[in-house]
Amino acid sequence: MIKIVHFDHISTASNNKVRETDLFTGLFGFQIRTEWHSEEGYYGVGFDVPGPDRIGWELLVPDNDNSFLTTFLNANNGPGIHHVSMQIADAKHAIDELNNHDIEPIVTNDGIHHNVYLHPKRGGSGILFQLFEGDAWNDPALDEPIFQSNEPNLGIKRIHHIAQAINDSKMVLDKYQSLFGYHSIMQGPRKPSDEFQTNVLETQTKEIHWELLNPIGKKSFIKEFINSKGEGAHHITFIIKNWQQAMDACAAYNIEPFGFYENKIDGAKYLECFLHPRDTAGMLVQLVWEEKEGSWI
Ligand SMILES: [Fe+2]
Ligand SMILES: [Fe+2]
């Protein structure tokens, strides 16, 4: 098993730096932590994200048509989640572990970060994983920053999970279990469906959850997703502080949430809705408000 020290960030690729920066700092209430330009052909923006675990967000924007990001954006038909990044204890050991799983990682080392990448099509099941040994970009030893946005925003408390659409849940679960130490804590869905099954995983550092979604039946929206985009990141879920605040913020941005759902877990109420990828940098966003902290899963 690869020793994971910290879930460092989630990265979005887009051609539109201004629009996505406005979205992340405006509606989402993130704060810019750093900005840079890379010789590898892109601009980067690093954001602080509310939450106790210092999981950050990153925006990558190509600066030319030959950038590897342009290839991604063309294949993805627009912006979307480009990679997830986890800090590991030992890159050499990670390479051995991956080789033992017949996965040949892409390895880079600039002396500061020893990066071990799982390619989306060669081990990543549709997601590019960056595993790095070196300093965290979003240091979990630091206190949560103070967020001072006056604009209407969603009032995000923390990132809850990333959901990944895949064909073979058992295969991916086995892989994540033995490679990353993820394990299943809930199988569902809670609302019975004849279109998909879900498996919610606890991650090694418990900073974030991970969800595997696999299609069942003939008519499945997960199957449609995989047919059109391939396996990969399906949605991201944020826990929000205040339902009305989030709805007001959506209205201020002319965004119409959909898929409203309300229920209780052990007597504690929760509310859910979704924001369409066209409004949110190419990713489906789920908002969840929970009456009792930590009750929703
Ligand atoms: Fe990154
Ligand atoms: Fe989910």
Q: 176: CA distance to ligand 1 center in Å? A: 20
CA atoms within 13 A on the CB side of 78: 9
Residue 145 resides in a domain: no
Q: 93: CA distance to ligand 2 center in Å? A: 31
Q: 85: CA distance to ligand 1 center in Å? A: 6
Summarised one tens digit per residue, pLDDT across range 148-192 is: 877 899 999 999 999 999 999 999 999 999 999 999 999 999 888
Q: 249: CA distance to ligand 1 center in Å? A: 28
Q: Which ligand is closest in space to the CA of residue 160? A: 2
Nearest C-alpha neighbor of 127 from the set 278, 41, 11, 2:
11
Residue 297 resides in a domain: no
Residue 281 resides in a domain: yes
What residues does 261 pair with on adjacent strands? 272
Residue 296 resides in a domain: no
Co-location of 85 and 161 in the same domain? no
Find out whether 86 and 6 touch, Cβ atoms under 8 Å.
Answer: yes
Whole-angstrom CA distances from 44 to 33, 79, 93, 207 are 11, 14, 29, 24
Q: Which ligand is closest in space to the CA of residue 239? A: 2
Summarised one tens digit per residue, pLDDT across range 49-73 is: 999 999 999 999 999 999 999 999 9
Q: 247: CA distance to ligand 1 center in Å? A: 30
Q: 221: CA distance to ligand 2 center in Å? A: 14
Residue 190 resides in a domain: yes
Residue 146 resides in a domain: no
CA atoms within 13 A on the CB side of 85: 24
Q: 260: CA distance to ligand 1 center in Å? A: 32
Residue 141 resides in a domain: no
Summarised one tens digit per residue, pLDDT across range 203-230 is: 999 999 999 999 998 899 999 999 999 9
Residue 35 resides in a domain: yes
- 189 upstream amide cis, omega within 30 of 0: yes
Q: Which ligand is closest in space to the CA of residue 84? A: 1
How many structural domains is the chain composed of?
2
Summarised one tens digit per residue, pLDDT across range 4-25 is: 999 999 999 999 999 999 999 9
Co-location of 72 and 193 in the same domain? no
% of the chain exceeding 70 in pLDDT: 100
Co-location of 75 and 172 in the same domain? no
At residue 115, what is the residue type?
N
CA distance 9 to 7: 6
Query: Mean pLDDT of all residues in the chain?
Result: 95
Domain span at residue 115 reads 4-134
Q: 45: CA distance to ligand 1 center in Å? A: 10
Co-location of 217 and 261 in the same domain? yes
